[in-house]
Structure 1
């Protein structure tokens, strides 16, 4: 009998939401099993079988991941002060998709987001998804559809907050393109303050979000979720029409029928009365301070399609991992169950989520945008400090869960004594690496 490691479960003081991936810092992946290791093993076979699908950006990313923390990228050599053994520590690739380089990305996001937090303000997580049919269309139109998703989510949030609450909206958004089975499921997570400076300049002041009519809410309230969904749907459908009119949509293969206006109108009409999935999640209790929300979301929002902790086993060319029970919109009862893919299919699905070159997956809007941030934060601080009972200040920068490589003094793997640096080499350029003996045999740059 094979005993499976326990599925990830919630184990932090302030879980922001039940509908997103629960995390447990005590759960570890199967010994010796990692996402990076699986990708290094199966990327060549995936490219042999599905090479026509692998655009240059996919090729480049997989090549970088295959060389991460290897001799090809140079590094540092340390000598143990005790047993005198030498240990090389090779440089990381630094690619934003790399599972081995996520710690620094998480720390950077947490630092930059923490600077936006205003003490005493309630922060919400708002999630916007696309219907399954649009997720399929996005595979051939990633940049266009992902941009539309971002813009539509922000426009819907901004307008609904202005209509219901009357304060200036702000949002920090991150794009995810997957569900727990690694299928295409584009959606954005937004960190949104539940208050802000009044939009009515004739009546300046601070406005906190609250229900304006009907039964009082027992939990923090942002806006009407149903109305937000409707508004979001309208912006997406309008944007799709504009993309097609401007010939920005690639409608090839099975999608070529949508070049016909009648077929397009019929296809688009399916979405007008369809219930779109988006939801608003408030902190579950008053003890959940802004920095707790940011720290929790940093783990989730800066992660990749799958973490090592969800891996169960790798046997006979098959990879088994935990995936939530339910459909790709987040339905189900929140339980996780083992899910199995071939190693090649695991690499193929993971590679679907490599973003277009230069695409920005983390964006800030409204009061959090570069254009308005300084003025917005000054106004927020001024109005919050003018209240009768000013809140206690939040920590400016929450502590990181993981130290950076630069902060870590390496210890000897043989005797656990501290080591000293004796030589090092800088990381070469990627053009030099790909022209060297370390170039992966399967890599092509056409």
Structure 2
């Protein structure tokens, strides 16, 4: 839909990347998506390419985009339901009532110019890519059955407050934001998509940038960690002896199929071995 708006209001191809964000300050469900959109479009003509910049104060009509997004989203849900491809939890989900409620509400698409320069903007968006629902530094106390953590109350002028949850509720909230297997949090479309790499190069050229795409720098782990943490401490240093270095040996991904069975067998023999030691 954004590509359609790019053609209609800017007359060409735009690029945009999105990051899905599912939680709020207290790890409650707060589903929303952050978009970064090019401030203009690549216009092609028989004589070549040109760049049509967007107005600094206007990209697309937000109200129209909000309504179209709501209608198209609900239409696709209804289509899945009609094709029996929607999981309704054995009929427990009243899809028709859900669609009626969704269509009766105003959906919000918020559009604003960047508050920072492009480097800081990309850095800000990048924080959401690998961030989890809560960071360790926000946890201030652990009780026998409770966890207390800091949060900012956006309904009270962003004041910092404390919240205490039962450990089971804390774990439930945290795990509710773990994405299903195969789900992609970050997507790229238009000029940002790998399939339009050549058009992206043409866009760079008409904007005065080198035609060739820049090589991606490969940072070493320690350099990357120091850059994001602002600390010169070695994170591999053992916290107990203060001398030894903890080095990665192997990475393990999700376990499926025969590997899951194999792990179960190993677990059985491990339990059997421990029982007789």
**Shared fold by TM > 0.5?**
yes
User: In 1, distance between residues paired with 2:177 and 2:4?
Assistant: 30
User: In 2, distance between residues paired with 1:358 and 1:381?
Assistant: 33
| Matched-pair contact (CA < 8 Å) for 2:34–2:125 | no
**Number of residue pairs matched by the alignment:** 254
User: In 1, distance between residues paired with 2:22 and 2:61?
Assistant: 26
- Residue 113 of structure 2 is matched in structure 1 by 282
| 2:131 paired residue among 303, 306, 314 | 303
| Matched-pair contact (CA < 8 Å) for 2:13–2:43 | yes
1:205 Cα deviation from its structure 2 partner: 1.0
Query: For residues 166 and 368 of structure 1, do their structure 2 counterparts lie closer, same or farther at Cα, with a shift above 3 Å needed?
Result: same
What secondary structure does 2:164 align onto? Answer: strand
User: In 2, distance between residues paired with 1:277 and 1:182?
Assistant: 21
What secondary structure does 2:26 align onto? Answer: coil
What secondary structure does 1:402 align onto? Answer: helix
What secondary structure does 1:279 align onto? Answer: coil
Cα offsets for 1:159-179 (capped at 9, x unmatched): 223222223121112222222
1:188 Cα deviation from its structure 2 partner: 1.7
Q: TM-score, normalised by structure 1?
A: 0.48
Structure with the bigger RCO (C-alpha within 8 Å, sep 6+) is 1
Query: For residues 257 and 280 of structure 1, do their structure 2 counterparts lie closer, same or farther at Cα, with a shift above 3 Å needed?
Result: closer
1:395 Cα deviation from its structure 2 partner: 10
User: In 1, distance between residues paired with 2:239 and 2:25?
Assistant: 35
1:323 Cα deviation from its structure 2 partner: 3.1
Query: For residues 295 and 197 of structure 1, do their structure 2 counterparts lie closer, same or farther at Cα, with a shift above 3 Å needed?
Result: same
User: In 2, distance between residues paired with 1:201 and 1:233?
Assistant: 37
- Residue 229 of structure 1 is matched in structure 2 by 66
Cα offsets for 1:326-358 (capped at 9, x unmatched): 5xxxx6633342222110111112111222221
What secondary structure does 1:340 align onto? Answer: strand
Cα offsets for 1:269-292 (capped at 9, x unmatched): 3333412133124322xxx33222
- Residue 356 of structure 1 is matched in structure 2 by 180
Q: TM-score, normalised by structure 2?
A: 0.74
Cα offsets for 1:304-331 (capped at 9, x unmatched): 11222322222231112233425xxxx6
| Matched-pair contact (CA < 8 Å) for 1:291–1:398 | no
Query: For residues 222 and 200 of structure 1, do their structure 2 counterparts lie closer, same or farther at Cα, with a shift above 3 Å needed?
Result: farther
Cα offsets for 1:252-299 (capped at 9, x unmatched): 3673444xxxxx2x5423333412133124322xxx332221122212
- Residue 39 of structure 2 is matched in structure 1 by 194
Cα offsets for 1:395-422 (capped at 9, x unmatched): 9659875159xxx69557688668699x
Task: Note the 1:390-401 alignment, pairs <5 A.
Answer: 401=224
| Matched-pair contact (CA < 8 Å) for 2:146–2:166 | yes
| Matched-pair contact (CA < 8 Å) for 1:165–1:210 | no
Query: For residues 304 and 417 of structure 1, do their structure 2 counterparts lie closer, same or farther at Cα, with a shift above 3 Å needed?
Result: closer
Task: Note the 1:199-278 alignment, pairs <5 A.
Answer: 204-210=49-55, 217=57, 221-252=58-89, 255-258=92-95, 264=96, 267-278=98-109
Cα offsets for 1:108-166 (capped at 9, x unmatched): xxxxxxxxxxxxxxxxxxxxxxxxxxxxxxxxxxxxxxxxxxxxxxx2x2222322222
- Residue 168 of structure 1 is matched in structure 2 by 13
1:202 Cα deviation from its structure 2 partner: 7.0
RMSD: 3.8
